[in-house]
């Protein structure tokens, strides 16, 4: 009975090793390919332009607000208590509005980035899938996560598939 158990364990080990060796694994540098895609470069430029435009608008509004605060500080001694209270409430409301505009701009930028990056990632993933099927790879692993990189590198094949 003991010999049968040992024999069964040995057979299972050989089968497991055989299945593991039958799998074909490759690595690729996902970030390098993604950065090389013209769509990524265009998206980055578009987002930079949008961000700069929004930043410039916010800067102008912040400067106008700062001037208004400085004017209030200069005029404060001449104002009555009621006028100071009203002006301070107005300035606080404007500051909150400025912060809300900044938050909205950040949200808009994030939404634009998410919307722009999805088709790029989908295109890259389809190319990776095509290369994997064409070369018989069971797995393609991102090379940046590996400590030791041995075996086939699918990066050139994926770049070729994308026309890069």
**Cα(29)–Cα(32) distance, rounded to whole angstroms?**
5
Look at residue 121 and tell me whether its pLDDT is greater than 70: yes
**Crossing angle for the helix pair 155-162 and 81-135, to the nearest 10 degrees:** 100
For the chain, give every domain's residue range.
Answer: 1-162
Q: Please, which pLDDT band fits residue 72 given cuts at 50, 70 and 90?
A: confident
Angle at 47 between CA 43 and CA 52, to 5 degrees: 150
Cα first-last separation, the chain: 62
Q: What is the mean pLDDT of residues 118-135?
A: 94
- Judged by average pLDDT, the poorest of 18-32, 100-114, 119-133 is 18-32
- Both structure tokens of 4: 């049968």
Architecture of domain 1-162: 2-Layer Sandwich (3.30)
**Cα(120)–Cα(132) distance, rounded to whole angstroms?**
18
Specify the higher pLDDT residue, 57 or 79: 57
What confidence tens digit (pLDDT) does each residue in 16-70 have? Answer: 555 545 688 999 999 999 999 999 999 999 999 999 999 999 999 999 999 999 9
Q: Phi and psi (nearest 5°) for 48? A: -65, -45
**The pTM of the whole model exceeds 0.75:** no
Look at residue 15 and tell me whether its pLDDT is greater than 60: no
Q: What is the mean pLDDT of the chain?
A: 86
Q: Please, which pLDDT band fits residue 1 given cuts at 50, 70 and 90?
A: very low
In DSSP notation, 48-88 reads HHHHHHHHHHHHHHHHHHHHHHHHHHHHGGGS-HHHHHHHH
């Amino acid at each position: 009975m003991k010999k049968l158990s040992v024999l069964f364990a040995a057979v299972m080990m050989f089968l497991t090793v055989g299945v593991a060796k039958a799998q074909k694994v490759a690595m690729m540098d996902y970030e390098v390919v993604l950065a090389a895609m013209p769509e990524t470069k265009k998206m980055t430029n578009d987002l930079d332009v949008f961000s700069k435009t929004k930043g410039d608008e916010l800067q102008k509004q912040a400067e106008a607000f700062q001037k208004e605060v400085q004017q209030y500080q200069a005029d404060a001694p001449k104002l009555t208590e009621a006028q100071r209270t009203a002006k301070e409430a107005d300035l606080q409301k404007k500051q909150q509005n400025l912060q809300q505009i900044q938050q909205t701009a950040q949200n808009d930028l994030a939404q634009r980035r998410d919307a722009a990056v999805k088709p790029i990632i989908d295109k890259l993933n389809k190319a990776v899938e095509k290369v994997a099927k064409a070369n018989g790879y069971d797995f393609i692993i991102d090379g940046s996560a590996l400590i030791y990189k041995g075996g086939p590198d699918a990066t050139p094949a994926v770049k070729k598939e994308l026309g890069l």
